[in-house]
Every structure is written in structure tokens, then in C-alpha cells.
Structure 1
């Protein structure tokens, strides 16, 4: 199958040969309290922690999470598992700077307040209605429910640090932006 891209101003006609094998591995979010965030992402979104790395000299920890299917084989050896983790796509890295969990007023900028920057991460789900019921059952706060606003069939919820998470069912958004 030939590589495809929409033709738009600024888009290179071809991917440079030197980029062959490059893949987007992970996106990072800073979290105030890892126990709260790990509970949210593992319980509500079914993600698994692939690897935790501690850096005592710099006072931070990294948690690499992914949404795995039951039959995926993850290496047991810590080094092999880290290499495997950095070879995947769709990894979420949670970074915890030690001590933030003990600061009641501490908050990270979610990227959606002014000045805007980072916007959201997204989970594609097989059944939007079932996912919404699950999110409701778990009292996840909404920014936008699927029936609200001009973009129907897309929801936005917030994680414990206020980061936005888009929820969509791919088949329901085929006409988006047309």
C-alpha cells in the first residue's frame, strides 16, 4: 500500500527516506499524584503500566502505560520490556515530579485554558454509547457530552489533573469536517 497524505500547503511531497522507521511512540503528561492518575487510567481506561522508572537524583518518576489486548506478549525482563515499550505506538507517559501530591494548591496547566497550547489525548472506542455509560458509572467529569455542541458523537472528559480526553467511535465520525 502506498503512503498517503492529504495535499496541503506545507506538506512535504514525500517522507524523507532518512525518516523510514520513525514512529510516534508516546506522549507525556505531568501528573500531580501518581496513585490518583494510575487508578484513573488503569481502572477507567483499562491501561496497563508497562514500566516505571525512578530518577531519585532529579526527584521524578516516569510511568509508561498502554492499552493492551489480552494476547499481547510483554517481555518480563525489565530491560527487554523497556526496549519493547519504546518500540510501541500509542504509549502514554505520566511524569510525576516528587512532592507535588503534597501541595494542595498545586495544579498543572491543562493546555486548554489561556494561553492555549496542548489540547487533548484521544481514545477510540468500539461502542460510544457503552463507553459513555461506563464513564458515567465512574463519575468521570465531562467537558462535552456526545450530544452537545456542533460536533456530535464526540465526547471530551477530564482526567484527575484536568487534561482533556476525547472519546470517539471511528464509524460515527466518517463525515466529520465535510
Structure 2
């Protein structure tokens, strides 16, 4: 078994595709309208779905906003240089909600960004920034390349 995709509901599909593709650097893998059900599905990711997990953006035509609730956490992306990635995300108009740095109670370097609907995306440093960085508490991360 492997993870195929994670689904999130979005209020403006074009805005969300723009964020995930233009700000985070993913690719639009596929998109399909379902007129009978009045919804559209778009899949974005860093590579072919046969070998890489994707994010399914579900757009219900009659809903422009969702309550996020308190059960959902975040999507995590592994990045070789989160400091550079956060600077690029800001330059592309993205919102960094937690600047890069060590996590509380550990040494793994993380940052958080927020998509247009308020979903949190954690960026996890996959390569140590210096020789003092420990990797013993590093969580598995998806490669961005």
C-alpha cells in the first residue's frame, strides 16, 4: 500500500491551483468537471501519480467557503532549503505563518505556510543547514523534487 492523495475542499479552484502550482511549485496533474454533481476535481503534485502522492482539490460549485474545523492538522512537504523556499513563497505572494527555525522540543527545522483557504502546509528541512543540526528527531518527509 501507499498513499495516493489527500483531498481538501476549496472555495475558489483557480486561486487554489495557482497557489499550489505557482507559489509551491507543484504541477496540475489532472482536472475534471462533474456537471451532474456540480463539482470539479483537480489533482496537483510534484510528480506522476503512479509514483508520487497528490493533493486532490475538490471544488463544489455552490460553495465558496468552508469551516476548517479543529481536527485537521496540515500537509507536510520535505524541502532541501526551507529558508530559501520561504523567501520564494513570499516573493510569489504566499503567506508564511511560521518562519523557518527549529521546532519546539527538537532540532528539526520547520516552517509553516497557509494556502488561500487557510489550510496549513508544513515545510520540513530535509538537509541540515549546518553541522550542528541533528537528524534523530527528523520525521519522514515527501521530497519536493
Q: TM-score, normalised by structure 2?
A: 0.79
Counterpart among 34, 40, 46 of residue 61 in structure 1: 40
* 8 A contact 2:24–2:89 mirrored in 1: no
Take 2:135 and 2:38, find their aligned partners in 1: how far apart are those partners? Answer: 45
The match for 1:5 is none
Matched with 1:37 is 16
Aligned to 2:90: 136
* Shift in CA distance, 148/170, structure 1 to aligned 2, threshold 3 Å: closer
Task: Please tell me whether Structure 1 or Structure 2 has the larger radius of gyration of its CA atoms.
Answer: 1
Q: Distance in 2 between matches of 1:51 and 1:109?
A: 26
Structure 1 gap ranges (5+): 1-21, 69-73, 75-84, 102-106
Q: Write the deviation string for residues 25-63 of structure 1: whole angstroms up to 9, x where unpaired.
A: 000110000010011011011111111121111100100
Q: How does 1:1-12 map to 2 (within 5 A)?
A: none
More helix by share: 1
Structure 2 gap ranges (5+): 129-133, 139-145
Check if 1:118 corresponds to 2:72.
yes
- Number of equivalences: 131
1:46 aligns to 2:25 (yes or no): yes
* Bigger strand share: 2
The CA deviation at 1:155 is 0.5
